[in-house]
Every structure is written in C-alpha cells, then in structure tokens.
C-alpha cells in the first residue's frame, strides 16, 4: 500500500494540499493479515469513514487517510503500521481498527471529540482507547501492571 501510494505520488499531494494548509492528518489503520475480512467489519468501517465523518473532519481541518497493514503476526503489523502512519503519512492522529470487531458510525467522531477535551486534571488527552481484556482466565481488563 505504501509503495503504491508513493508510485502514485499520493503522499506529496497529501502534504502539499493538506498539511501545508494547516490540516491535520488522521490515519485510519486497517490490519488485514489474511486473504479476507468479515463482511460486517468492512461494512462498519465504510460506515465509520462515510460521508458524515468525512465532512465532519474536513470541516475541522482534518484529512482522513487509510493505511492497510498486511504484515503478520498482528503485533508486528500494528507496530509497523504506527510507524507508517507517523512517518509515511505524517499522521497527527492514528486510529487502529481490529478486523474482528464492528463499529458504530460515530466511533471515529466520538473518539476525536474526546481527544479535543482536556483530561480531568486539565492536561492534554494523548490516547483514547477501548477496553481490552486478557485472553485467558481470569479475564481482567488490560491496564495497570499489564502496561509497561
């Protein structure tokens, strides 16, 4: 995907047309490690990136770009995709979707709005995340000592 974008001279166009005019870049990362994805996942992503969100973000001077990570295993995919979002696309915001989940059409807008508000202590919000649970019993939330 990244090489194809470079071949099409898409990346300089994004920088020239958006970054240099004061827009921020929101890179939506889709980790597609297999040959197919669930239809419900793809339909939900289309809904999330559809007209309402597209226009909402453009009105706030944020351009959405999509990066499809194809590396395996998934942990390598996520790490490499974050680097691509930051250094290839120049992302100011990164949203990673999991291909085994579905999303409400307002998901991206809701998370973005939350990032624009200060944290309870008045500091800047740098990360907004969903709740994730351990894969084995006991199925506790992944937070606290699990995060290094």
* Bigger pLDDT: 146 vs 58: 58
Whether 137 shows a pLDDT value over 90: the answer reads no
Instruction: Tokens for 131, please give them.
Output: 């709740």
Q: What is the pLDDT of residues 6-52, one digit of tens each?
A: 545 566 677 678 888 899 999 999 988 888 888 999 999 999 998 88
User: How large a percentage of the chain has pLDDT more than 90?
Assistant: 21
Asked if residue 82 lies in contact with residue 91, where contact means CB atoms within 8 angstroms, the answer is no
Rounded to whole angstroms, how far apart are CA atoms 15 and 21?
9
pLDDT of res. 145: 45
Least reliable range by pLDDT among 101-110, 124-133, 138-147: 138-147
- pLDDT, residue 61, reads 94
Q: What pLDDT, on a 0 to 100 scale, did the predictor assign at position 106?
A: 92
What average pLDDT does this structure show over 80-96? 88
**DSSP per residue, 40-108:** HHHHHHHHHHSHHHHHHHHHTTEEEEEEEE--SSHHHHHHHHHHIIIIIS--SEEEE--TT----TTHH
Please list the residues that pair with 93 across neighbouring strands. Answer: 26
Spatial strand order of the sheet with 24-31 comes to 62-69, 24-31, 93-96
The count of other CB atoms within 10 Å of the CB of residue 20 is 9
Whether the predicted pLDDT of 135 surpasses 70? yes
């Amino acid at each position: 995907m990244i090489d194809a974008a470079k071949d099409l001279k898409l990346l300089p166009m994004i920088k020239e047309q958006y970054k240099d005019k004061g827009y921020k870049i929101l890179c939506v990362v889709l980790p597609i490690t297999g040959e197919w994805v669930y239809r419900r996942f793809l339909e939900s992503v289309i809904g999330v990136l559809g007209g309402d969100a597209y226009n909402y973000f453009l009105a706030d001077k944020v351009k959405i770009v999509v990066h499809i990570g194809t590396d395996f295993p998934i942990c390598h995919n996520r790490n490499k995709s974050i680097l691509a979002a930051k250094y290839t696309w120049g992302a100011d915001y990164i949203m990673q979707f999991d291909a085994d989940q579905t999303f409400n059409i307002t998901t991206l807008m809701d998370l973005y709005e939350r990032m624009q508000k200060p944290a309870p202590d008045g500091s800047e919000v740098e990360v907004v995340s969903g709740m994730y649970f351990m894969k084995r019993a006991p199925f506790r939330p992944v937070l606290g000592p699990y995060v290094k």
